[in-house]
C-alpha cells in the first residue's frame, strides 16, 4: 500500500539519519549527548526519535513540557530526562514520580521541590541553570554561588548539574558567546574553590557543539543538528549530517484552465494563458504557511504555489512539468530525484528559521518512520 493511497499529506522521518547525526556529534565532541526531543522532537516524533538517539549513544533526553515527559515515559523510555525549564507547581509530584531531573533557578523552587519530594518519599535530582546572558531563565551569575550553597538546606534535593544557554552561538561573531562562557567559567571556578562543583556541567546547543570545544564540558544538548537541520546560515552542519524529515503530498487533481481564470480565495492569481494547475491536499491547517511565494517539487522540478493557500489545499502551477498527472508525488520539504527543497529553503521563503518550519507541521499530518 502506498502512503498516498492512505494519507493526504504526511511526513517521513529517517531514523537512520538521526542515529548518524548523533554518532557524528558524539565522535566529534567526545562527550555525552543529551538529545533534545521537546516539541515532539521538533515534530519528528518524540518516542521514535528518542529511541534512535539512545541507540546511537545519547545518554540523556531533554524536554520543555510536562506532557512531553509523560509521552516518553508512557512510550517505555526510562533514560534520564532533564526538564529544561518551568514546571507548573501543581505538576511537580507527577514529574518527580517519573524520575525527571528538574531545572532550578531560585530558592523558592528548591523549597517546593523539597516539599513535593518529601510527600512522594523520593529524592529529586536538579540542575541549576545560570543566566550568563540569554536573559530568559536562570539564576543571575552573581547569585549562582549562593543558590548552590543553599541546596543542602533542602532535604530530598540532590544537586547533580549546572548549566547555561547561549544566545548567539550560531553566529560567526563569537563576542557574546565568549563573554557568556567566561562568566560561566568564573562561576565554575568559585564552586571548585568551595568544593561545590556538581558532577555534570553543560552549556552547548547544536551550534556550540559543532564549533566550540571549550564549551562541551560534561555533555552537549543536541537539538537542531540531530535532525540534520543547520543551526543557522552562518553555522552549517558538516556535509556528513543528514536531514531526517521529508514532507510529502500528491497531486489530487490536475486540470488545464483557460486564460483569465481566477484561482483560489480572493482570485489573487489569474491565468494569463492556458495553464495546467494541480490541486494538492495540504493547507494551512497542516501547518503550511499562508503566504505568497511558496514552492514545491513535482516531477523533480520546483513549481510555484499559486493563489491563496487554503485550509486544506494548495494550487500548484505545473508549467515546469507538462507530464504531471493526478497521483504524482509532491514534496514540500525534502528530495525528489536530484532536486532538493530543504527546510532551510522553506524557512527563507517564510521569512523564519528552519526550527519554526518543522515545529509548526500540524498534528493532522501523519508520520512514517523509516529505518526504525
Ligand atoms: C532547545 C534547547 C536546546 C537545543 O537547541 P538547538 O539549537 O536546537 O541545538 C538546547 N538547550 C536548551 C536549554 C534548549 O531549550
* 222 CA from centroid of ligand 1 (Å): 7
∠ CA 219-221-225, rounded to 5°: 125
| Per-residue confidence (pLDDT) for residue 72, from 0 to 100 | 98
| Per-residue confidence (pLDDT) for residue 1, from 0 to 100 | 55
Do 139 and 88 lie in a common domain?
yes
Does the C-beta of 206 come closer than 6 Å to ligand 1? Answer: yes
* 27 CA from centroid of ligand 1 (Å): 19
Residue 51 lies in a domain: yes
Say if CB 148 and CB 159 are below 8 A apart: yes
Do 213 and 270 lie in a common domain?
no
163 Cα nearest atom in ligand 1:
13
Say if CB 161 and CB 200 are below 8 A apart: yes
Residues 6+ positions from 284 with CB-CB distance below 8 Å = 290, 309, 310, 311
Residue 206 lies in a domain: yes
Strand-strand pairing, 32-36 and 245-250: unpaired
123 is catalytic: no
Do 138 and 272 lie in a common domain?
no
∠ CA 223-77-48, rounded to 5°: 55
Block means of pLDDT (10 residues each) for the chain, length 372 residues?
A: 83 98 98 98 98 98 98 98 95 97 98 97 97 98 98 98 98 98 98 98 98 98 98 98 98 98 98 98 98 98 98 97 97 97 98 98 95 92
CATH of the domain at 111: 3.20.20.10
225 Cα nearest atom in ligand 1:
9
- Report how far residue 81's alpha carbon sits from residue 100's, in angstroms, rounded to the nearest whole number: 5
265 is catalytic: yes
| Per-residue confidence (pLDDT) for residue 251, from 0 to 100 | 97
| Per-residue confidence (pLDDT) for residue 300, from 0 to 100 | 97
Residue 102 lies in a domain: yes
Number of structural domains (the chain) is: 2
* Helix or strand (DSSP H, E) at 28: helix 15-29
209 Cα nearest atom in ligand 1:
9
N residues, the chain: 372
The C-alpha cell of 47 is what?
Answer: 518516542
* 24 CA from centroid of ligand 1 (Å): 18
Does the C-beta of 85 come closer than 6 Å to ligand 1? Answer: no
Helix (H, G, I), strand (E, B) or coil at 133: coil
Amino acid at each position: 500500500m502506498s502512503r498516498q493511497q492512505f494519507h493526504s499529506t504526511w511526513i517521513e522521518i529517517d531514523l537512520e539519519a538521526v542515529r548518524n547525526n548523533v554518532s557524528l556529534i558524539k565522535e566529534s565532541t567526545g562527550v555525552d549527548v543529551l538529545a533534545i526531543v521537546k516539541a515532539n522532537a521538533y515534530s519528528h516524533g518524540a518516542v521514535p526519535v528518542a529511541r534512535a538517539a539512545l541507540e546511537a549513544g545519547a545518554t540523556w533526553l531533554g524536554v520543555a513540557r510536562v506532557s512531553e515527559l509523560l509521552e516518553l515515559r508512557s512510550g517505555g523510555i526510562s533514560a534520564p530526562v532533564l526538564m529544561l525549564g518551568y514546571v507548573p507547581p501543581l505538576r511537580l509530584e507527577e514529574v518527580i514520580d517519573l524520575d525527571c531531573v528538574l531545572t532550578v533557578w531560585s530558592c523558592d523552587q528548591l523549597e517546593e521541590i523539597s516539599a513535593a519530594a518529601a510527600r512522594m518519599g523520593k529524592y529529586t535530582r536538579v540542575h541549576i541553570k545560570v543566566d550568563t546572558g540569554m536573559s530568559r531563565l536562570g539564576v543571575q551569575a552573581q547569585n549562582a554561588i549562593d543558590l548552590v550553597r543553599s541546596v543542602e538546606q533542602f532535604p530530598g534535593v540532590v544537586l547533580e548539574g549546572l548549566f547555561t544557554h547561549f544566545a548567539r552561538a550560531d553566529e560567526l561573531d563569537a563576542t557574546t558567546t565568549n563573554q557568556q562562557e567566561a562568566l560561566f567559567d568564573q562561576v565554575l571556578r568559585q564552586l571548585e574553590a568551595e568544593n561545590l562543583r556538581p558532577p555534570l556541567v553543560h552549556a552547548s546547543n547544536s551550534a556550540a557543539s559543532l564549533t566550540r570545544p571549550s564549551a562541551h564540558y560534561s555533555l552537549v544538548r543536541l537539538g537542531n543538528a540531530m535532525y540534520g537541520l543547520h543551526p543557522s546560515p552562518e553555522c552549517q552542519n558538516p556535509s556528513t549530517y543528514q536531514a531526517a524529515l521529508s514532507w510529502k503530498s500528491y497531486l489530487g487533481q490536475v486540470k488545464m484552465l483557460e486564460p483569465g481564470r481566477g484561482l483560489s480565495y480572493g482570485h489573487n492569481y489569474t491565468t494569463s494563458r492556458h495553464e495546467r494547475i494541480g490541486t494538492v491536499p495540504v493547507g494551512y491547517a497542516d501547518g503550511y504557511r499562508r503566504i505568497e511565494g511558496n514552492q514545491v517539487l513535482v516531477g523533480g522540478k520546483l513549481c510555484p504555489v499559486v493563489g491563496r493557500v487554503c485550509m486544506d489545499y494548495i494550487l500548484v502551477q505545473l508549467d515546469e512539468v507538462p507530464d504531471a498527472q493526478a497521483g504524482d508525488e509532491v514534496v514540500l520539504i525534502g528530495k525528489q530525484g536530484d532536486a532538493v527543497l530543504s527546510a532551510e529553503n522553506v524557512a527563507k521563503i517564510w521569512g523564519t528559521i528552519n526550527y519554526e518550519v518543522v515545529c509548526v507541521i500540524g498534528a493532522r499530518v501523519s508520520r512514517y518512520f523509516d529505518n526504525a
